[in-house]
Amino acid sequence: MTDPLISLKGEHRVIERALHALKGMCLRLEGGKPVEPEALLKLLDFIHISCYRGLHQPAEKCLVRTLLERGVQFKGGPLDNILFEHEVERRLVADLDSSVAAYNRGDPYASQPLINTANHYVDLMSDHIRNEEHVLFDIMSKVFEDQSIALLNMVFEPSDQELGGAACELFERMVTDLERGWAA
Ligand SMILES: [Fe+2]
């Protein structure tokens, strides 16, 4: 049975590859060159399906809930910041959606707001991933016993099955395409 911490770290590495692609798109826009609307939409698809609502966040919610049930304090503690980052992430993804929509409509003023939002998102997610691996995962590895790891794996599996049972392969393909075309 796979340790969920190892699975989550693997998902983080895939998300980082998509962030490199987004950074590459920003550099191109900053240089005054266009980015194809399809590429921006593909990257947004990846964010929505993979790290925003598909596989990663349900898994994280499950972990947070399990930690709360086991008496780990979030309010005022180091984990509070991680929940705050999730809120900021949701707002930035909504901003990215509207910035990309404006850019893809051909709005001549849409490029700079898109660059700003995308860079902010890349910075936030890079810090967030580091925080999770150093703070959240460290606490988790101390709190969980073998039994709860088995329980967590049972909760994770349905989200993978909802996406057709081949979610990891799908994300891998999506991110490989994005990286090949755009990674900085
Ligand atoms: Fe997270």
Residue 164 has pLDDT above 50, yes or no: no
User: 55 CB contacts (<8 Å, ≥6 apart)?
Assistant: 11, 49, 159, 160, 163, 167, 171
Length of the chain: 184
Claim: this prediction has a pTM higher than 0.75: yes
**Closest CA relative to residue 8, chosen from 162, 137, 178, 160:** 137
Yes or no: say if 37 and 151 are a contact pair by the CB < 8 Å rule. Answer: no
Please state, in angstroms and as integers, the Cα–Cα distance from residue 57 to each residue in 49, 51, 102, 159, following that order: 10, 6, 27, 10
The rounded Å distance from CA 180 to ligand 1 centre is 25
pLDDT in tens, 82-122: 888 888 998 999 999 999 999 999 998 999 999 999 999 99
The rounded Å distance from CA 86 to ligand 1 centre is 6
The rounded Å distance from CA 33 to ligand 1 centre is 32
The rounded Å distance from CA 87 to ligand 1 centre is 10
CATH number, domain of 30, equals 1.20.120.520
Average pLDDT value for the chain: 83
Taking residues 109-137, what's their average pLDDT?
Answer: 94
- Tokens describing residue 183: 């990674």
Using the structure block, give the residue that is written with the tokens 């090949």: 180
Residue 43 is predicted with a pLDDT of 95
Q: What are the two backbone dihedrals, phi and then psi, of residue 158, each rounded to the nearest 5 degrees?
A: -60, -35
The rounded Å distance from CA 51 to ligand 1 centre is 8
Yes or no: say if 156 and 4 are a contact pair by the CB < 8 Å rule. Answer: yes
Using the structure block, give the residue that is written with the tokens 């990846």: 46
Helical packing angle, 146-162 and 167-182, nearest 10° = 70
Radius of gyration of the chain (CA): 17
Domain that holds residue 147: 4-182
Structurally, the chain folds into a number of domains equal to 1
